[in-house]
Structures are given as C-alpha cells and as structure tokens.
Amino acid sequence: MTDIDDLVQRVAIQAASDNEDLPAPLGDEQIAEAEAQLGSALHPLLTRLYREVADGGFGPDYRLLPLLGPGSSVVGDYLVRREVSVGVEHPEWPEGVVPILTWGCAMYAGVDCLSEDGQVLLFEPNPYSGGSRDECWFLDSASLAAWLEIWLAGTGWFEEDASDRDDLVEPKLWEQAASRLSSGA
C-alpha cells in the first residue's frame, strides 16, 4: 500500500525537478470554487496534488492541466465535455470523471472522482466508429496513486521507450463505461 504523504512529497520533488516554472499550489478557496463548478468533490488525492504540489504543470508527457482558469483546465474541459453529453443518444463523457491532462489528438487522462481509489481512465476517441462511446474509454490505472507511482518510475505505456519493454501494461477497456455513460453518472 502506498503511503500517500510520501507519494505527494515524491511527486512534489519530481515536479519541481521537471519544471522550474511550476505554478503555485492552490488554496482552499480555489479548490472549493472548482468543486462548486464541478458540482461534486474532487478525489482527495487529486485535491492534495493541487493544494500541495502545484496548479498543474507536472506529470507525464503534456502534464496536468490547471484546475481553473482561461484556456484548457480541469473544470473548463469537464464542463464542456459534460455539456455535449447531456441529453444525447450517445454521451461521450461520464459524470464525475474529470480530465486531468490531454495526451493530444483529442485523448485525455481523467480521474474518476466517484470511485474510491480515483481510477485513472484514458479517453481515446480516435478509433470511434459511431454509436456508443464506451469503446473510447479505457482503464489506465486502478488508482490515481498507482498511476502516479508508474509515472515516477518511468514505466507507463506513455513513455517514449515503452514499446521496447516486455513488462508493458497497456490500458484495458473500462468495464463500467457503458453503464456510466448511459446512466449519466
């Protein structure tokens, strides 16, 4: 089991090492504002990252999005994605899954704030062939803590040399996608 205090500290050290212009961490007011706009609480570990490490700008590849603000952000991107998913036959974005970074090409990593462990999901719409969007959702990691450990270890599928490794674990289809998309939750 991961010691969350130790994990947050290691993430902060790596974040500062990777980005000398790291944004300042957020205060309780900004976190509360974000949660009010989202209509629900962020996963506790995600809250700690924004409160204790930085307002985005760290993590794998394109790095975590800022929580609020102009341009692409966790709250802004979530609200846009949810807006186009409400009241349509084939919604694309489930309630409670906040986008935390973009992989480019319309792909996102998202944290399921409705799951106890904060599952990290991959939204990959590029092979979409019409109909239900559940084929676009993959389970990247069973928990945000495990996903961060993979990033810190440099062993994620997203690493440049990932295809050269024998122990590579790729995201699998998210089994809850169809029910979560159809239920609105």
pLDDT in tens, 77-128: 999 999 988 888 888 999 999 999 999 999 999 999 999 999 999 999 987 7
Of 87-91, 134-138, 166-170, 177-181, which gets the smallest average pLDDT?
166-170
CB atoms within 10 A of CB 48: 19
Helix or strand or coil: residue 140?
strand
Domain with residue 174: its CATH number is 3.40.1580.10
Query: What residues does 102 pair with on adjacent strands?
Result: 108
% of the chain residues with pLDDT over 90: 70
Q: How far apart are CA 37 and CA 40, in angstroms?
A: 8
Residue 30 has pLDDT above 60, yes or no: yes
Torsion of CA 113, 114, 118, 121, to 10 degrees: -80
Q: How far apart are CA 155 and CA 97, in angstroms?
A: 24
Angle between the N-to-C axes of helices 4-18 and 144-153, in degrees from 0 to 180, rounded to the nearest 10: 40
Residue 35 has pLDDT above 60, yes or no: yes
For residue 36, give every residue at least 6 positions away whose Cβ sits within 8 Å of its Cβ, in sequence order, or none.
Answer: none
Give the count of domains, the chain. 1
Residue 182 has pLDDT above 70, yes or no: yes
pLDDT in tens, 127-142: 777 777 888 999 999 9
166 against 124, higher pLDDT: 124
Torsion over CA: 156, 109, 117, 15 (sign): positive
Residue 1 has pLDDT above 70, yes or no: no
Mean pLDDT of the chain: 91
Residue with tokens 């699998």: 172
Given this model, what pLDDT does residue 161 score? 73
Measuring CA to CA, which residue among 2, 73, 84, 5 is closest to residue 42? Answer: 73
Number of H helices, E strands in the chain: 6, 5
Name the helix (H) or strand (E) containing 110.
strand 107-112
Of 22-31, 57-66, 134-143, 164-173, which gets the smallest average pLDDT?
164-173
Given this model, what pLDDT does residue 10 score? 97
What's the domain range around 74? 4-183
